[in-house]
Amino acid sequence: MKLTNRWNLLIYRLWSPIYDGLVDRFFFHKGRRRAIQVLAARPGESLLLVGVGTGADLPLLPQGVMALGVDLSPDMLARARQKLPLEGRQVGLAIGDAGCLPTPEAQFDAAVLSLILSVVPDGAACLRETLRSLKPGGRIIVFDKFLPENGRLSLGRRFINIFTTLLGTDITRRFSQMADGLEINLMREEASLLHGTYRILLLERKDI
């Protein structure tokens, strides 16, 4: 099964009531917090959160930043709105497709891609649209799971992926394939959850 926007709208409607309390709190929070630390956003910077979901990243943002969170799911965004307002941070939310963002070109200083490249139908399009929305030299922090660059896609992983896509995530994606041909520099990479199955990548849009 391949992920589609139609399926994601359905599955994340089901996830939205339990995501924060069950999934994020007990599993993803530590990785999110570390990713935001690595991004090191500064007061006055504008941030784009693609696939903001229930807004789990929003309370982790430093004070003094301005942020726009975009998500396809109205149900997930409804949960994100419950976290607002956040003291010292200007945050807006908008419905939008990560593969065709409703954002101007070269608008943001930095972007947060938490657990979205493995969820959207086209991870490369999501990354490309994020880059389009960044100013030259802008930064992207990625927190997600990827197939190891030096590892093969086993039959077992393909089989398990049948079930994970039903839950709204693809475990067979390789970051280098999504980033191929894009004007980005990899500034930092570190292992995160599940012994490095999840990784944190700091990227920079090339100043061309």
User: Residue 86: what pLDDT?
Assistant: 97
Main-chain dihedrals φ then ψ at residue 201, nearest 5 degrees: -125, 130
CATH number at residue 122: 3.40.50.150
User: Residue 3: what pLDDT?
Assistant: 92
Q: What does each of the 208 residues of the chain score in pLDDT, given as a tens digit?
A: 789 999 999 999 999 999 998 888 889 999 999 999 999 999 999 999 999 999 999 999 999 999 999 999 999 999 999 999 999 999 999 999 999 999 999 999 999 999 999 999 999 999 999 999 999 999 999 999 999 888 788 888 888 888 899 889 999 999 999 999 999 999 999 999 998 889 999 999 987 6
Residue 31 CA to residue 112 CA, distance in Å, equals: 13
User: Residue 4: what pLDDT?
Assistant: 95
**Contact criterion met (CB below 8 Å) for 145 and 198:** yes
User: Residue 153: what pLDDT?
Assistant: 85
User: Residue 208: what pLDDT?
Assistant: 60
- Please give the sequence-ordered ranges of beta strands (E in DSSP) within 101-162, or none if there are none: 108-114, 134-145
> 73-90 in b/e burial notation, b at 16+ Cβ within 10 A?
bebbbebbeebeebeebe
Q: Which residues make beta-bridge pairs with 69?
A: 49, 93
Domain count, the chain: 1
User: Which amino acid is located at 17 in the chain?
Assistant: P
Q: Please identify which residue in the block is written with the tokens 């960044």.
A: 134
User: Residue 65: what pLDDT?
Assistant: 98
Can you read off the two tokens belonging to residue 157?
């992983």
Residue 98 CA to residue 127 CA, distance in Å, equals: 8
Can you read off the two tokens belonging to residue 206?
């090339």
Q: 3-state class of 133 per DSSP?
A: helix
User: Residue 161: what pLDDT?
Assistant: 87
Closest residue by Cα to residue 3 from 180, 199, 164: 164
**Contact criterion met (CB below 8 Å) for 87 and 64:** no
Domain coverage including residue 107: 5-205
Residue 201 CA to residue 161 CA, distance in Å, equals: 23
